[in-house]
Structure 1
């Protein structure tokens, strides 16, 4: 009976019964080929890139209910810099009830989103202004499309403040330090923002913690550096694109070496138009002067027009072993290192604040009277900002025995508390 339903044999093709007698391994091969084809088609579909060719990182539970009942799809990858907020939560009005603003007293000024926690989920930076005053409050939330977002960070009462998301997924803040040398004694109308801080997510502490920007000249902080980059992009200060000129400007600054603008400099490595790093040697023209080596990198690793930021200044004869770069200091702090002593004295330590002003100083005496030796020196300092830490610099220098000018020195980036 079943033979009725078998198709007729076509010329040149085996009959149904003949095909039924094909070797078993051949039939298995055909089946394997079909399965392989289906598998390949599935892989091609899964590997389709998101966003014009960048592979996305899948996120579990990508569909998240929002406060309005709609469904928002979470971002599928971790990218640097500000990201578009989900439509349902992008307006300042949405956040007014979450941060508990009071009509006529406080209002949400701005909402920005980014992968601040280093995961595919977006976080929201929400700034709140005080009407008729100068205070700015900073709030950061996660699970931002949930009915009740979770606050993971806040910073209150920044005078004439500002807060933005950096190109490194950190939060940058700016404010007026009313007690600084720049603003002390001025009227509020003439205040200038002068204190800049940076906060990065810490898995260990489950919040944003203050960190130090690795660079320290021509910009001490990332907030200032990104503003400088924007200005250079518009044609201002082109010297910041020249590694030799940046090194000479540092050596000429009265805050550091005061060697004058004509101090000779030579490129040791890098420094080309599309190089990421550079090392420049600068020589003092003062009697008995020596040299320094200035190491720098392009801001945000941008080799297509990124400005140079100095990250290290070393000396052929001086070194600091403790504290380490970017360390958080407390007064008094102990500084150790090596240097050449003359009649027991190596030189001096200076601690500079966020305006490059000296806030601490100590003479450095060697463990032995003359020649290369070690040192351990206690350094006390007083800062004019008490609401947190500020970025600063530790400088060790030795004088010229001929005229007392700075012969050489080394600089270290630190956080002052």
Structure 2
């Protein structure tokens, strides 16, 4: 007899989501939409909010946000990039320019967005509010029982439930519960720092050096030895997001975020092309944040008992593939289908089986993309640049990744496997293939 969930339980599942970041709010929405669960979100901070500035939302994620009705709260703030452009660091030479929108939507059915993290977080929060999902702030979790499914807060309050979702980020306390008694490496420094700031686009439009950056919405990457800069417009094209990545210089000690030093930023890029230098001249005191880029070795376990980890808690993404938020939201979609269709004892193992290979491949390629962006000047960099400038498929294929054949599926080109992926439909397909009964709602 095939494994299957019995008739819907007499009472709805009680699900507690630990962490109200992008992944946690997405999980609350996706699980609530199944109609089988009462969801509560716990957040340790005293108020909701999201750090950082711009992020890219590719079609594998936008399809979920649109399906869930989150886009109505986001529509006024997204930017649709027309192109992606790569520029050589020293002389401003354009190495490659590829179309993005509307071609991406025409091919994959859903758009690619540039959006401010705070705007996406607020859109998810509004959807959570619409679904009447409670969020409890000042709720620091100090313990979890994965057998009985209960949470203990710093106040001593105990919250009983049926299932726990750990979406509490890179410094996850829920990960410690999952890995209890097992050896696991802690988050580690990658050797890179990042400066982040934004500039009003109207300030750039009147500058002859920078006007081309904001004339048409696009994602721009300036690549150089050991460093790079990324820029694109946000908030209905009123703001230009800037991220600079450079080698760890030992100035951050034990902190991972601090106010940035503008003069230090300018000194780092003093030999770069006029566009980059003009862009950094637009940075203003109090608006620049300095981050230490952290990573985590792949975990062998994402679940224990009635607790499952999602997003950065189990597979943090370096920014080089722009997939951190998208993969957390994919996790949320897949986990909701597992909770809808599987016995609780199977949710954790099956969820990890569904998501592990994809998430770890993207982690791996994000790390490898760092090397492509940061090649030292020399023969290897010259070969890379020549391949990027050559429009032929054969030339570019040497620098393109392929998704490995898996689960009976043939290998796929990288963008096809990344952008064309539907986390909900893939979860249904894989769950069905495992022998569980799956409805087609």
Bucket of the pairwise TM-score, normalised by the shorter protein:
under 0.3
Structure ID, larger Rg: 1
Larger helix proportion, structure 1 or 2? 2
In the superposition, the TM-score normalised over structure 1's length comes to: 0.25
Larger strand proportion, structure 1 or 2? 1
Higher relative contact order (CA 8 A, sep 6+): 2
